[in-house]
């Protein structure tokens, strides 16, 4: 068995399942994906339910998502999770659930008998995580979303809009990806205050200091040597800071926030909540949340 498979392994069931005692029928696809804790999360739920299925990691490069789905269907996969950077590309190759369409990205795929369907559990998973970690409702806060132009950023931003956040500050590397999102949000909530700026905007610090909750939805902080996505001048000790990255558990952003005395949390709670919702898409009526929390207990404790 491999820790990480590639699209080249999706050519035959014999190749994919060599050395394994269970067939691989669920997966997470991404690039990179070796860091993903999703296999441990979902395998625990599968084992607890007595389901004879293996959950694997598959590293898929940009432009390969359509072919990947085609091969997974041919091999009898039940579904897959979709992570960075494929949450937007995946929408092109599935029937998108209306709720996922509103959130603007897909992170969960179900391979039915006649159709490939795409869902989004990131948005509701994020809202549950914020309630767990900070004991607050999104409608009580001004929220800054860093990396709002990406797949996870769009889903989380739209979830915040639906939940009635008081104000949204959207920050992205380029302005081009922000304007369609802002237009979409304005259609949903015409009266909501929405500000869109780039990371090099001179007003970044002033806008961030006016927010209560800061959320990093970008991949900055995932790789060794990455800087903090925000300078310290953008942070104050009263901030709640959430980073959707969970490996490493303390990103440069969280380290900077911790040094100031901010309350912080990483993306492990979101991973668990969105994972449980995805599992329920594949196995309706299941209740995997407690088992998934237990499976991640070592990371939570750490």
The answer on pLDDT for 302 being more than 70 is no
The residue written with tokens 């303390």 in the block is 250
The architecture (CATH level 2) of 5-120 comes to 3-Layer(aba) Sandwich (3.40)
Residue 266: partners with Cβ closer than 8 Å, 6 or more residues away: 242, 243, 244, 245, 246, 249, 250, 251, 254
The closest alpha carbon to 274, from 91, 38, 104, belongs to 38
Whether the full predicted model's pTM is greater than 0.85, yes or no, is yes
The CATH homologous superfamily to which domain 123-268 belongs is NAD(P)-binding Rossmann-like Domain (3.40.50.720)
| pLDDT band per the 50, 70, 90 thresholds, residue 140 | confident
Where do you find CATH 3.40.50.10860 in the chain? 5-120
Q: How far apart are CA 287 and CA 276, in angstroms?
A: 8
Stretch 114-131: mean pLDDT, rounded?
A: 96
pLDDT at 133: 96
| pLDDT band per the 50, 70, 90 thresholds, residue 300 | low
pLDDT at 148: 96
Where do you find CATH 3.40.50.720 in the chain? 123-268
The answer on pLDDT for 43 being more than 80 is yes
Q: Burial letters for 19-38: b for 16+ Cβ neighbours within 10 Å, e otherwise?
A: eeeeebbbbbbbbebeebbb
Residue 114: partners with Cβ closer than 8 Å, 6 or more residues away: none
Residue 203: partners with Cβ closer than 8 Å, 6 or more residues away: 197
pLDDT at 151: 87
| pLDDT band per the 50, 70, 90 thresholds, residue 84 | confident
Mean of per-residue pLDDT scores for the chain: 95
The answer on pLDDT for 301 being more than 60 is no
For 196-222, what is each residue's pLDDT tens digit?
A: 999 999 999 999 999 999 999 999 999
Q: Annotated active-site positions, please?
A: 87
pLDDT at 41: 96
Size of the chain, expressed as the number of residues it contains? 302
């Amino acid at each position: 068995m491999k820790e990480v498979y590639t699209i080249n392994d999706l050519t035959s069931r014999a190749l994919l399942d060599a050395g394994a005692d269970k067939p691989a029928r669920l997966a997470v696809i991404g690039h990179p994906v070796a860091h993903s804790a999703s296999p441990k999360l979902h395998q625990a739920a599968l084992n607890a339910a007595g389901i004879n299925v293996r959950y694997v990691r598959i590293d898929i490069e940009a432009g390969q998502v359509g072919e990947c789905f085609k091969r997974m269907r041919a091999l009898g996969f039940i579904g897959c999770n979709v992570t960075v950077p494929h949450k937007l590309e995946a929408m092109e190759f599935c029937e998108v659930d209306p709720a996922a369409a509103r959130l603007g990205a897909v992170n969960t795929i179900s391979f039915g008998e006649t159709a490939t369907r795409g869902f989004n559990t990131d948005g509701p998973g994020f809202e549950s995580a914020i309630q767990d970690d900070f004991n607050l409702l999104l409608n009580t806060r001004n929220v800054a979303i860093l990396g709002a132009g990406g797949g996870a950023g769009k889903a989380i931003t739209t979830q915040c809009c639906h939940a009635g956040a008081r104000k949204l500050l959207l920050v992205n590397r380029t302005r081009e990806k922000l304007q369609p999102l802002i237009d979409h949000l304005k259609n949903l909530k015409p009266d909501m205050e929405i500000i869109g700026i780039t990371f090099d905007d001179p007003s970044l610090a002033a806008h961030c200091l006016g927010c209560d909750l800061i959320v990093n939805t970008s991949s900055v902080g995932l790789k060794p040597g990455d800087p903090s996505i925000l300078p310290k001048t953008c942070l104050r000790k009263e901030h709640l800071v959430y980073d959707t990255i969970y490996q490493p558990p303390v990103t440069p952003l969280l380290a900077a926030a911790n040094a100031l005395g901010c309350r912080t949390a990483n993306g492990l709670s979101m991973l668990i909540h969105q994972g449980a919702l995805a599992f329920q898409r594949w196995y309706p009526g299941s209740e995997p949340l407690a088992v998934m929390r237990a499976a991640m207990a070592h990371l939570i404790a750490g």
